Amino acid sequence: MSAVKFGLDRVLEDAGLRRPLAGRRVALLAHPASVTRDLTHSLDALAALPELNITAAFGPQHGLRGDKQDNMVESPDFIDPVHRIPVFSLYGEVRRPTAAMMDSFDVLLVDLQDLGCRIYTFITTLRYVLEAAARHGKAVWVLDRPNPAGRPVEGTLLQEGWESFVGAGPMPMRHGLTMGEMARWFIATLGLDVECEVITMQGWQPASAPGYGWPLGERSWINPSPNAPNLSMARAYAGTVMLEGTTLSEGRGTTRPLELFGAPDIDARALIADMRSFAPEWLAGCVLRECWFEPTFHKHAGKLCAGVQIHVEDPAHYDHAAFRPWRAQALAFKALRRQQPDYPLWRDFAYEYEHDRLAIDLINGSPVLRQWVDDPAARACDLDALATADEAAWRETRSPFLLYP
């Protein structure tokens, strides 16, 4: 089987592919996981090509080089000390590139490793740069990378009016697209008139074990954001990201963030038992384990938490097609609400600079999940019916934009 080649690999190897860039000013939107097979950062690798004129770079949330640990910590603009070009932050003073930023290039290369989850802000940044490119007559090239969560689809669709920096459009939580495919969908959905080229991968096989989306054993995993340390996190993230809208710790401040959850005042063993009794079919494909952890920072810092870890790495227990992280996490909320009806579960704070709407609703793109958790009469089949319909609709919607068999 031939090794998978990412879009960046192909641009670096094939002079013919990059010939249209000759004589044009080129910018790069990248982050710490934007690396070649030998782990050279894409900015350094592209700048080493004598025929490319790299005039600017852009960093998304957490920065071009990945300097910000927590959510909602802004990055400044700076001059790259090696290449002496401006590096503009798209998670600082602005979220959308300004006219002055757009004036620094003719073609923007987008080389971002995504996690396959709607809430991951790199896809919102992709939308914003495509819209800006359409307005300013610039070209965008997406150097495609794998979706490590693979092709499965899960969750309710973001509802109209619920767009935000963690909700770029009407897609489910787990969308199953690559960044290149996402760009094609944005252009069609938003009716953008923009020159956009997707440099596709070669040999990507999202249905193949053991990686099911990530070329496990072929490529090093680099954190695309500080709390995305491994493939297990990427698999669980479409569910565990909802913990950001709750008072439960999502494991930030531990070595397994977004693979486990807990709090000092819950009974993890009883929680797992109640999850299994309420909707056992929602726990297929993974193993839940009772655990204890003490976050060093973030929620419940320095306190011993009773917790649950979601295990998705053992091939004997992990079933990629059966594992449904969004339902599994929703089930944990439901079980906790049934055990402790007055538990202060929903965290009320300014999430991604939104002050008027609860974080859990912003994350889910509607109040549907929270209302289901809080309704004592709501059954598993009620949420399942809503999600199943939305998932089927999304599979049909995304079909024309898929670039890989």
Work out the burial of residue 15: count CB atoms within 10 Å of its CB; fewer than 13 is exposed, 13-18 middle, 19 or more buried: exposed
| Residue whose entry in the numeric block shows the structure tokens 């399942």 | 384
Q: Read off the amino acid at residue 270.
A: A
Q: How far apart are CA 165 and CA 321, in angstroms?
A: 29
Domain pair 7-223 / 231-374, same fold:
no
**What would the pLDDT profile of 239-282 be if each residue is shown by its tens digit?**
999 999 999 999 999 999 999 999 999 999 999 999 999 999 99
- CA dist list (Å): 144 to 8, 9, 60, 299: 7, 10, 16, 35
Q: How far apart are CA 212 and CA 310, in angstroms?
A: 18
Q: Please say if the pLDDT value at position 316 is more than 50.
A: yes
- CA dist list (Å): 166 to 174, 248, 352, 365: 13, 20, 8, 9
Q: Are 144 and 2 in contact (CB under 8 A)?
A: no
**Sign of the dihedral defined by the CA atoms of residues 388, 393, 396, 397, in that order:** negative
In this prediction, residues 340-369 reach a mean pLDDT of 91
Domain range list for the chain: 7-223, 231-374
109 forms beta bridges with 28, 141
| Residue whose entry in the numeric block shows the structure tokens 């592209």 | 46
Q: Please say if the pLDDT value at position 197 is more than 50.
A: yes
**What would the pLDDT profile of 368-391 be if each residue is shown by its tens digit?**
999 999 999 999 999 999 999 999
Q: Read off the amino acid at residue 303.
A: K
167 forms beta bridges with 164
The CATH architecture that domain 7-223 belongs to is: 3-Layer(aba) Sandwich (3.40)
Longest Cα separation, the chain: 66
For the domain 231-374, what is the CATH code?
Answer: 3.90.1150.140
**What would the pLDDT profile of 133-191 be if each residue is shown by its tens digit?**
999 999 999 999 999 999 999 999 999 999 999 999 999 999 999 999 999 999 999 99
